[in-house]
Each structure stands twice: as C-alpha cells, then as structure tokens.
Amino acid sequence: MNSSIIFSNILNPPVLFFFLGMLAIFLESYLEIPQPLPKLFSLYLLLAIGFKGGYEIEESGINPEISLTLLAAIFMATIVPIYSFFILKWKLDTYNAAAIAATYGSISAVTFITAQSFLKILSIPSGGDMVAALALMESPAIIVGIVLVRVFAKSQQEGEEEKFSWGEVFREAF
C-alpha cells in the first residue's frame, strides 16, 4: 500500500482531533471544552449530516438500489445493537451493555469521513446515498438501546414497576 495514502488519512482533521483527544487523556490533561460548545457541535453535526444526506438523495433520486441500501443500513443499525447487547450482557450491567450496543449500531462520523477520503484518494466512486445511510443509522440504534434498557433494567426502587411507553422511548431518543 502506498504510504502517501496512509499519511493523508492520518492527517485528516477528524482523525487528528481523535488523536489529540487520546493524547490529552494519556497526558492527563485538564483540557475542557466550555459546556455550550459540545452541544452546539453535536447539533451542527447532526443537522449537517441530515441536510447533506437529504441533498444527496434528492440529487441521485430514489431507485430500487438506493432504497435497498438505505433499508440495509436501517436493518443493520437495528440488529447490531440487539445481538451486541446480549453478548455484552455477559460481562456488563444492563445500562452499560445497552449504551455500548447502541454505539456499535450507530455509525461513527469520523470513520465515515475517513473512509470517504480513502475512497477518494483511490479514485473509487461512492454514491451520495451513503451520507443518507449515515444519517439514518443514528436513530434506530439509539431507540434500540433505550428499548433494551427499558425492557431489561430492573427498577431502581424495589417493588416499583415502571410502565413501558413507546411514546416515552421515542421522546427520549429524539
């Protein structure tokens, strides 16, 4: 493999920020981002991904191939957290197993951007519908994680049953 491809991926800004975060933890730095900014960054990222995905679907149009790709993305974002939860449940409590399983089911924007850069360097075309798949994979995984906690977690107070409500699950997820 060409070393320039490796260096260009490592020098990609999202990857550099990932390594900066790891370095800060390793050096026990007290690097702290002021509280309103992480929420702003998260909201901006979600909006940007959603708008970009919608734009790409509008540009390419919906055809059977794109529909199948998007359905497969939603299916994987639903199935991966379910089986991951039961594997993780062997070693972890319900809350941590569900949180990690939901993380496995959703997609990492940094990984996605790095993969897109890698494909671009190799001159391999990728469809814009993959951005829409990225946007669609977040919600199902989060909803499944919340459902797993609601179904499998014991009530905090003994003898008190908590009623399960799909409306409440969707409210929490959104």
Instruction: Give the model confidence (pLDDT) of 101-144 as tens digits.
Output: 998 888 777 777 777 778 888 888 877 778 788 878 878 888 89
Q: What is d(CA 127, CA 125) in angstroms, rounded to the nearest whole number?
A: 7
Portion of the chain with pLDDT greater than 70, in percent: 91
- On whether the CB atoms of residues 174 and 143 are closer than 8 A, the answer is no
Average pLDDT, the chain: 81
Rg of the Cα atoms in the chain: 19
Residue 17: is its pLDDT beyond 90? no
Please list, in sequence order, all residues whose beta carbon lies within 8 angstroms of the beta carbon of residue 18, skipping any fewer than 6 positions away.
110
Residue 157's pLDDT band (cuts 50, 70, 90): very low
Across the range 26-40, mean pLDDT stands at 81
| Closest to 152 (Cα-Cα) out of 57, 85, 60, 102 | 85
Residue 71's pLDDT band (cuts 50, 70, 90): very high
Residue 156's pLDDT band (cuts 50, 70, 90): very low
| pLDDT, greater one: 12 or 72 | 72
Across the range 72-97, mean pLDDT stands at 93
Q: What is d(CA 171, CA 129) in angstroms, rounded to the nearest whole number?
A: 27
Q: Is the pTM of this model over 0.95?
A: no
